[in-house]
Amino acid sequence: MGKLRSYEDNTYFANIMFKTLGYDLFDSPRPSWQNLLLRIYFVLCMASNCYAASMVTYRILQWESVAGSSSKIMRQGLHFFYMFSAQVKFVTFMMYRKRIRSLSNNLKEVYPLDEKNQKDYNVDRFYLSRTTRYVLYSYYITMVFMALLPLIQFCIMYLIGFGSEPFFYKRIFPTRFTFDADTPLGYVGAYVIDITYSQFIVNVSLGTDLWMMCISSQISMHFAYIANLLSSYCPSREGERQDCHFLAGLVKRHQLILR
């Protein structure tokens, strides 16, 4: 048995995906100014997502923008379905957020805390493996690098040329907006939208899946523990009262997830 793991360790990755979007599922206590900043950033992410998603959909419906180029059709199609998947996941998550919060709080109440209980429950088996955690870190770092690469690349080219080379207003996504993104002010606005929109899509896609993994793995851990107890317990007619106490205690301990 390694170090003791808290329930928060199991939900950390899923929770941080939404916290970095400005949404705290559990309304953790923090100073009011931090809550205000989080809400402002969440509104910005939501606004960017709605605007960019509508532009992606509009450009696909505007067939002449992609007609005649199979690469554009495939790229825009993949972008649309990835975006649409994230929207569906987010709407579903928000619809069931109270149930998710309630179930998570129930699982936290029955989570084993001391070393003996964690060993009995075999919590390490149901925790994200080191390989999975590294893959998540690598994936997210790669996405951040890809998001910043166009800006970094062309800033370096511009600086190397000491301003003699034109600044190419390259962005993460080629989607055209309703304003001119090839001006300094327009480029800043478009890049902010691209960054917050891409962060929203990635975090929602990862976060909802991680919440499903965390909740299901915690429930599986408790059922595995119950199954082990039942398989090792030998009831007898002589010990009927003891058997009833055993089953009653088992149900009482896990009633929050069994109901």
| pLDDT, position 258 | 54
What is residue 68's predicted lDDT score, i.e. its pLDDT? Answer: 62
Half-sphere exposure at residue 228, Cβ-oriented, CA atoms within 13 angstroms: 10
Is the Cβ–Cβ distance between 65 and 216 less than 8 Å? no
What mean pLDDT, rounded, does the chain reach? 84
Q: Tens of pLDDT along 157-177?
A: 767 765 566 666 778 777 788
**Cα distance between residue 204 and residue 83, in whole Å:** 10
Task: Determine how many CB atoms are found less than 10 A away from the CB of residue 230.
Answer: 12
Q: What DSSP element (H or E) covers 163?
A: none
Q: Can you read off the two tokens belonging to residue 156?
A: 């370096």
203-229 pLDDT, tens digit each:
999 999 999 999 999 999 988 888 888
For the chain, which residues make up each domain, given as ranges? 7-233
CB 22 within 8 A of CB 219: no
Closest CA to 198 of 21, 26, 10: 21
pLDDT at 166: 63
What pLDDT does residue 67 have?
61
pTM: predicted TM-score of the whole model, two decimal places? 0.83
211 CB-side CA count, 13 A = 23
The Cα 122–Cα 221 span in angstroms is: 8
Alpha helices in the chain (DSSP H): 7-19, 32-61, 70-95, 97-109, 115-121, 130-160, 184-232, 240-253, 255-258
Residue in the structure block whose two tokens are 């992609």: 66
Mean pLDDT computed over 59-88: 78
pLDDT of 35 = 92
226-259 pLDDT, tens digit per residue, is 888 888 777 776 767 777 777 777 777 666 665 5
Residues 6+ apart with CB under 8 A from 148: none
The mean pLDDT of 45-68, rounded to a whole number, is 82
Task: Tell me the per-residue pLDDT of 99-150, one tens digit each, with 9 for 90 and over.
Answer: 999 999 989 988 998 888 899 889 988 998 888 889 888 888 888 888 888 7
Whole-number Cα distances in Å, 22 to 65, 69, 76, 210:
34, 38, 28, 17
